Amino acid sequence: MIVTGLSLETLAILVGLVCVLRAFQLCLDFRRLLASIHHLPGYRTIISASSMLGRLFPPIPLLNLGHDHFWLSKHAPFAERGLDIISIATCWPKATGSLLIADINVIKDIVWSRGGRFPKPLELYTALAFFGKNIIVSEGSEWKRYRKIVAPAFSERNNRLVWDATTQIMLDLFDTMWAGQQEVVVDHSVDLTLPIALFVIGAAGFGRPISWKEDAVVPLGHQLTFKDAIHTVSQNLTLPLLVPRWVMGLTKHFRRTRLAFDELHRYLTEMIHERQGSQQEHNHDLLSSLLSANDSNDSLKDDVKLSDSELIGNIFIFLVAGHETTAHTLSFSFGLLALHPDKQEEMYQHIKRVLPDGRIPTYDDMSSLTYSSAVFNETMRMFPPASVVPKLSAEDTTFTLTDANGTMKTVVVPKGMELGLHITGLHYNPKYWEDPFVFKPERFLGDWSRDAFLPFSAGSRGCVGRKFSETEAAAVLTILISRYTISIKDEPEFAGETYEQRKARVLDARSKITLSPTRLPLVFRRRT
């Protein structure tokens, strides 16, 4: 018994020594990290907010910033420190650092750099490669190959198709789902905008038109509708990475998620086979470009060939990114217009001036419907889809910028340092935007700082589908506001709230794949 006791005591001492040595090593590494960035002011935490563990913990001072901190903090962290570059240093499970940037000149230097100086950290995008490699989860020559394949599909011809498809989808909504109703109540705005955006990308990007009534019916051979499958997948993208497939059968939520992934893969495969067997011409949409690059009989495109998994992966990512970003931004647009009836009326009067005879707008009218585009841009400024765009510094470098007092500062950036283009901080930076917290669509009707507007990122890695999204949004907003007014749904449990409380409640947002409203209840009333 004495020997056993001594053995346990010895073991405890050894474990304690290992822990002490590990803690000492972490402290040394943490001090070296801070020295490498010359103790640039910023956050000091134990756990990284971008790590999987950081996503599980709530915001706790010194422990974890919280996943939504970058969205919620806006420009405040930079204003507090008087410089538009700040640092984050974490010490566990290893010492890691990153720099957050809200200065347009530094951001321009990064996004327009050549030679792979600031690549994308692909390990942060693993969940988006579940169905196969794609344009988002790629860098260097691989990304150039994907870009070369898809870029021709995003043409002026396709933009016209986007407008026409959006118009038809909106008119179909009014004539079927909303027919005969003077007032339509939507408990959450995304229940309306997600199908709109999905139908548009399906029709204009993949030649897969869906009517509102068809979408309510589960097709033969399936257990979920296309909309339900893709929505469930997008809400649970990381789950298959965290949970083994056999565990996915243990709970109702896991089983539905597993079913959604299987169903979506089946839908995408069917979409490919249907197009391959079609005799119709679709040579100007995205699916045609992807299929052409996957065609084993086409010997002219050996440098841009797509494997079967790459084909599925790119179709998936364009469907998800192509509809979620626009859908969530449209949801916020509806909410902002509902909270600002004066801006909504201004938009309506603008539409009437452009279309005095009340006709259905065409793509040729888009350049004149500037207020519709301004509402969408202002919404994206206030609610950017991504709060931070991650990069890496592939070499030792420095950034130079001025602080709040106008003094030139040089920030040292060691090789391997993570960089975060803080889009929310940039969009709420008072140096570039007057009254950044105020909804002012008219700011996009005159001169405005294009370098300080990055909802679609910028530079060579700027979103290839930007014009697609802008065209769709302008059409949706124009057609909807020309026929309906939007207001916030009155609910008894919130009867005593102030305007500011209501605004904070309905515009509350959380970051998932993209920033999305928590719950935004709306009422649409037909104009007389």
Residue numbering of the annotated binding site for heme:
463
Q: Is 74 left (phi over 0), alpha (psi -120 to 50) or beta?
A: left
Contact 173, 311 (CB under 8 A): no
DSSP 320-360: HHHHHHHHHHHHHHHHHHHH-HHHHHHHHHHHHHH-TT-PP
For residue 491, the SS3 value is coil
Q: Which alpha helices (DSSP H) does 59-175 contain, by range?
A: 69-73, 76-81, 104-111, 140-150, 156-172
CB crowding 160-195: b at 16 or more within 10 Å, else e: bbbbebbbbbbebbbeebbeeeeebebebbbebbbb
Could you give the C-alpha distances from 163 to 153, 192, 199, 281, 472, in angstroms and in order? Answer: 15, 18, 12, 19, 6
Query: What span, in angstroms and rounded, lies between the C-alpha atoms of 54 and 167?
Result: 43
In this structure, what token pair is assigned to residue 427?
Answer: 């969009």
Q: Say what angle helices 308-339 and 190-200 make with each other, to 10 degrees.
A: 140
Q: Token pair 């999204």 is at which residue?
A: 469
Q: What is the CA radius of gyration of the chain?
A: 25
DSSP 406-473: S-EEEEEE-TT-EEEEEHHHHHT-TTTSSSTTS--GGGGTS---GGG--BTB-GGGS-TTHHHHHHHH
Number of Cβ within 10 Å of residue 343's Cβ equals 19
For residue 114, the SS3 value is coil
Length of the chain: 528
Known binding residues are: 463
Q: 338: Cβ–Cβ under 8 A, 6 or more apart, which residues? A: 344, 486, 487, 488, 506, 522
Q: What share of the chain is helix, strand, coil (3-state, %, to 5)?
A: 55, 10, 30
Element (H, E) at 14: helix 2-36
Element (H, E) at 275: helix 252-276
Contact 37, 412 (CB under 8 A): yes
**59 φ, ψ (degrees, to nearest 5):** -65, 120
C-alpha torsion 103→105→108→113, nearest 10:
-120
> What type of residue sits at position 358?
G
